[in-house]
Amino acid sequence: MWEWADDSTEQEFFAVNRSMHDRKGPEFPAVCPSCGQQSMHWYCYISRPQKGSVWVWCHSCHQYVHFTGLVPEQWEDLKDLDLTNGLTLDLLNQERDRIDKQVDKFLQS
């Protein structure tokens, strides 16, 4: 169901992640660079100090990227995600409304 982003979309998704470190990210859900729908999301799960698992994905065209990277300063992930079945893109996508709120709060702080 989920597909790794094509080359140009991948670059745009990486750019979105970089913008989060400058707190210049867009309002989420943001416009997907591939399909043009307002359905792009970003999330960083903090796995250990300063290291995180990052996802950028689109819930319309189902493209995504996922990698380990630095956690943006003062980012706080959601502490109450149900990780019983692991941290998956399906889970993040189910929780995307809460995630977007958390990200927007971070960008506005």
Residue 6 vs 76, nearer CB to Zn ion? 6
Contact (CB, 8 A) for 29 and 72: no
Q: Which residues pair with 30 in a beta bridge?
A: 40
25-84 positions binding Zn ion, by CB under 5 A: 32, 34-35, 58, 60-61
Q: In the 8-state DSSP scheme, what is residue 77? A: -
Residue 39 vs 44, nearer CB to Zn ion? 39
Tell me how crowded residue 10 is: count the other CB atoms within 10 A of its CB: 17
Contact (CB, 8 A) for 11 and 63: no
Minimum CB separation of residue 31 from Zn ion in Å reads 9
Residue 51 vs 59, nearer CB to Zn ion? 59
Contact (CB, 8 A) for 57 and 2: yes
Minimum CB separation of residue 67 from Zn ion in Å reads 19
Residue 35 vs 46, nearer CB to Zn ion? 35
The site for Zn ion (CB under 5 A) is made up of 32, 34-35, 58, 60-61
